[in-house]
Structure 1
Amino acid sequence: MSSHFKPPIDLSDLPNYQQKESRPRRSVFVGRVSTKDNQNPASSIPRQVALASERLLPDEKFIAYFWDVESGMLPPELRGLGPQEMYDALNVSVPRDGGLQDLLDRAEMLGVTHVVAERSDRVARIMLASLIVEHDLEQLGVEVVYANEPIGGTASGQLRSRRGAQVDAELYRVALMEMSMGGQIQHAVQGWNHGYPPYPYIAVIDEDAPVRDKGRFGMDRPKKKLVPHPDERRFATARELCRLRREEHLKSRDIIELLAADPEQYPVEDRWTHNRVEGLIANPKLAGYQVYNRKASRTGRAGYSRLNPISEWVWSPTVVHEPVVSLEEWKTAQEVTAGLRADSEGHGPLLRIRAAARRLGLTITLVSSSGTHSLYRIGHQQIVLPIPTPATIVQQLVADLESAR
């Protein structure tokens, strides 16, 4: 910073009057477009370069160009993972030396002094992500410059302008997610399918769905509904698979063995697997409803999705396609699945008894326990169960409760 308060006499001839730059200025460009469908990289990236270049010194040029065709909602480590062939096919006139994560990895090796972008949301729409990028580069002595920020003034004013722009980007992201989520919810509520159709169904275009205006921006994706697969054996297979879990309490390995023994009756692409069987049993679409928000796909880990609790699922109000099982049968299968999983953890017998009692509107209360036996109250009755409780006793007790309906 140059001082406005000069010395009484001319001292400019002294060796240390001005500090010389310890390293030459080396600036790189960083940019981003949201997707190749919603923005045209061939025009957007050169435009961003032109605006960012206004912050270069006279006769200075960028030594490298780092840009992505990705959502600004992704963290840097998940950006720029598309193959180089995809970027080559975009025919962007600006060369590409990598994406944002490549810049962070190579900034020190390249001797970068300045990173220049059109504006802060070209780095990230999530404020925390852009702050982390700025902090990591600052630790390397790299200054981040946004071309839309004012030049001059106080450091506090410049910081206020930058943080305000980052807050605006974050608010835009949240508003965009709210609108997108609202649209996806209505999509499911009105009976249209999300994602790949389950095993016993295919997705077909709903000819009765409203058609949007031709000139509207963005990709036109026809609305689809589920109908039974042309191979009727699939419907019967899914129904039998659910029955084996619901009525016979079979684990996935036993179900796989039964299905694989008769491939003509129980057809499947490739082979039956644990994930395929468990995923089908757990899928509420088999009950005829459209269900959205079962999984949180954006978790910060590539290829990983987290299951949301059932309380957060969005259901269509009524049955919208032909069901494989009733909703009550689907629910029972989930209770059996929970019991089987608890069995493997040593808590299964009591959960199976609780599930049977719950179907009768009864609750189970622990009265006392001696370490070898426990006394429970089920409704107005009391029962004594050994610890651990053998499966035969559990089955008999569940049968007694069922017969009391």
Structure 2
Amino acid sequence: MTLSSAPLPQTAVQEQGLRFAFYGRVSTEDNQDPAASRAWQLRRAGGLVEPKGGTIVAEYFDVDKSRSIPWARRPRASALIEALKNPARDFDAVVVGEPHRAFYGNQYSLTFPLFEHFRVPLWVPEVGGAIDPANEAHDMIMGVFGGLSKGERNRIKIRVRSAMAAITATEGRYLGGRPPYGYELIDAGPHPNPAKAADGKRLRRLVPHPAFSLVVKWIFAQFIGGRGLFDIAEELTREGVPSPSAADPGRNRHRVQVAWSKSAVRVIVTNPRYTGRQVWNKQRKDEVLLDVNDVALGHTTKLRWNDRDQWVWSEQQAHEPLVSVEDFERAQAVLASRGHGPAVHKPHRTRRPYAFRGCLHCGYCERRMQGNWNNDQAYYRCRFPAEYALANTIAHPKVVYLREAEIIKDIESWLMTAFSPGRIEATVEAMVEQAGSTENPAATQLRKQLSTCAQRLNQYRAALNAGADAVQVAQWINETEQERARLEGELRAVPDDRVVSTDELREVLRQTSELAHAVVNACPDDKADLYAKLGLRMMYYPQKKLVEAKLVPTSTCANGVCPRGDLNPHAP
């Protein structure tokens, strides 16, 4: 039975000169090349519409977005949906080069009704043209492709997890991620996969760090001897021993690196990899509904801990142990004897709203202040242990408190005044005067890094001319050349600055003004989310009894770069 031979709508076949918008998607999590993927999907779409007189005039291509993400949460797909709603859109139909990439699960049945409603034909190669909403065969084909797409993703997930479990148990292979504190990575030979080995991929192996491994052994000895986690953390900070985040600052730029925390000591004491065994599957990724009242929004991924009986242990020692199995089990027994298991948080009967959640910072240490409910009122506090203050060389009170009711009216009054019509015009004039005088901060940073690469290359070449080891210097030069190529690619991807018209500025400020008014009039439960969207940042200076407030545009990871750095430098 050939389902694709069903008759197409006559209007779609006979009408010539249609203008098409192309939609495609690529996920880079499995090392796909976005440029190559876009090229073949676009070529396939063009091969469908061009013989029938069609022309692709617009492109909507999502990069680094999983197929499981619904259209409403894909940037370019949602932009395409918005374009459908515009009667003055610059295309007559939409063509998809690969249904597997565009639709997942039931996404087709949730999306195609919009194309029907706005009378925009959707073309796919699998039906040879436009989808006929009245044709059951077409609907069946698209439903099958959605199911196949979901099944393919699930099969890949199962195969990968099964392979990682087998490799951990039988080979004890290091599977990636940052090395535990006290270990470092060394080369362990070529990759066993011939194709990856031909590409230069290498295995890595854990070896004890000459200094930090001694710290781990000392921590276990002190803990088994009866000292508490916080007591150990205080002494390590007092003695100036680098904390785990300070030991690897490149991957921990987002963390406070000056002192040890109680949780850092606990992580070391409970990590079984210090026994020399490789352990995998301590955590899992669960997909949970983003909104139980709107299933169409899809799922979000939550990282959760597995029970110990689900961990996968290597059958043999995979690296040099820092503690014996007996000492590790003794430490777990000591930890268990000091409590009744992990604390269970009992949810409050009603959700306690904190209007400035995540927005208020301490003027002493610049950390975010935590919400604290006291006497049926919202407070914000900053607790800073004495050893942390000593390591920071700052005078910090043990606890800093601020009551929300003391500042919320002043903040709301300031927002209403800041976005009055008169202030908006003054802001537009100031921004126009400064236009063109500043460069994109991302581009500036990348140019500084490129300059550093150039300096290092000159130094390496000078060392080579002076008689240094040619093999070692060549390796340094190759690594720096690769880094420079990466930086140049990122610099090319940075959007060029463009002159923004005063009308556009007024529109942006007008929308911000509407958001500010929405904050003032919102219920307490919604204020925190609206303040976050507004970009509110406040600094509380207790010694001056002053709160400094400003609006800072919110930002996230750009171009897929993780703020923690590359967690898997060995991976392809």
The bucket for the TM-score relative to the shorter chain is 0.5 to 0.7
The one-letter amino acid of 1:70's match is: D
Q: How does 1:49-64 map to 2 (within 5 A)?
A: 49-54=42-47, 56=49, 60-64=54-58
Distance in 1, matches of 2:69 and 2:217, equals 42
Note if 1:158 corresponds to 2:152.
no
Which residue number corresponds to residue 318 of structure 1? 316
Report deviation, 1:165: 1.9
Note if 1:327 corresponds to 2:325.
yes
Structure 1 pair 188–49 and aligned structure 2 pair: CA distance change class (3 A): same
Q: Which of 222, 227, 233 is 2:202 aligned to?
A: 222
Report deviation, 1:286: 1.1
Report deviation, 1:127: 1.4
Note if 1:260 corresponds to 2:260.
no
Asked if the contact 1:289/1:316 (under 8 Å) is kept, the reply is: yes
Q: In structure 1, the residue corresponding to 2:186 is in which secondary structure?
A: strand
Which residue number corresponds to residue 66 of structure 1? 60
Q: How does 1:7-156 map to 2 (within 5 A)?
A: 27-35=20-28, 38-54=31-47, 56=49, 60-70=54-64, 72-76=66-70, 99-104=76-81, 107-108=84-85, 114-124=93-103, 126-129=104-107, 131-134=109-112, 144-151=122-129, 155-156=135-136
Structure 1 pair 185–343 and aligned structure 2 pair: CA distance change class (3 A): closer
| Count of residue pairs brought into register by the alignment | 303
Q: In structure 2, the residue corresponding to 1:223 is in which secondary structure?
A: strand
Distance in 1, matches of 2:342 and 2:158, equals 40
User: Which residues of structure 1 form unaligned runs of 5+?
Assistant: 1-17, 19-24, 81-97, 348-405
Asked if the contact 1:289/1:321 (under 8 Å) is kept, the reply is: yes
Q: Percent identity?
A: 23
Which residue number corresponds to residue 156 of structure 2? 176
Give the structure with higher Rg (CA): 1
Q: In structure 2, the residue corresponding to 1:46 is in which secondary structure?
A: helix
Distance in 2, matches of 1:310 and 1:333, equals 16
User: Which residues of structure 2 form unaligned runs of 5+?
Assistant: 1-10, 12-17, 248-256, 289-298, 346-572
CA displacement 1:343-387 (0-9 Å, x = unmatched): 89599xxxxxxxxxxxxxxxxxxxxxxxxxxxxxxxxxxxxxxxx
Which residue number corresponds to residue 192 of structure 1? 173
Report deviation, 1:283: 1.8
Distance in 2, matches of 1:65 and 1:218, equals 36
Q: In structure 1, the residue corresponding to 2:274 is in which secondary structure?
A: helix
Report deviation, 1:313: 1.6
Structure 1 pair 293–264 and aligned structure 2 pair: CA distance change class (3 A): closer
CA displacement 1:28-79 (0-9 Å, x = unmatched): 3211234398444333313312322455586554453222333645524898
Note if 1:291 corresponds to 2:279.
yes
Distance in 2, matches of 1:104 and 1:290, equals 48
Distance in 1, matches of 2:329 and 2:286, equals 27
Q: In structure 2, the residue corresponding to 1:31 is in which secondary structure?
A: strand
Structure 1 pair 46–204 and aligned structure 2 pair: CA distance change class (3 A): same
Report deviation, 1:130: 5.3
Report deviation, 1:177: 1.8
Distance in 2, matches of 1:31 and 1:288, equals 46
Report deviation, 1:197: 0.6
Report deviation, 1:228: 0.6
Q: What RMSD, in angstroms, separates the aligned Cα atoms of the two structures?
A: 4.1
Which residue number corresponds to residue 21 of structure 1? none
Asked if the contact 2:48/2:128 (under 8 Å) is kept, the reply is: no
Q: Which has the higher helix share?
A: 2
Higher relative contact order (CA 8 A, sep 6+): 2
The one-letter amino acid of 1:240's match is: W
Distance in 2, matches of 1:41 and 1:200, equals 38
The one-letter amino acid of 2:96's match is: A
Report deviation, 1:202: 0.8
Report deviation, 1:235: 1.5
Report deviation, 1:201: 0.5
Structure 1 pair 129–277 and aligned structure 2 pair: CA distance change class (3 A): farther
Which residue number corresponds to residue 351 of structure 2? none
Q: In structure 1, the residue corresponding to 2:321 is in which secondary structure?
A: coil
TM-score (norm 2): 0.45
Which residue number corresponds to residue 390 of structure 1? none
Q: In structure 2, the residue corresponding to 1:67 is in which secondary structure?
A: strand
Which residue number corresponds to residue 499 of structure 2? none
Distance in 2, matches of 1:180 and 1:289, equals 21
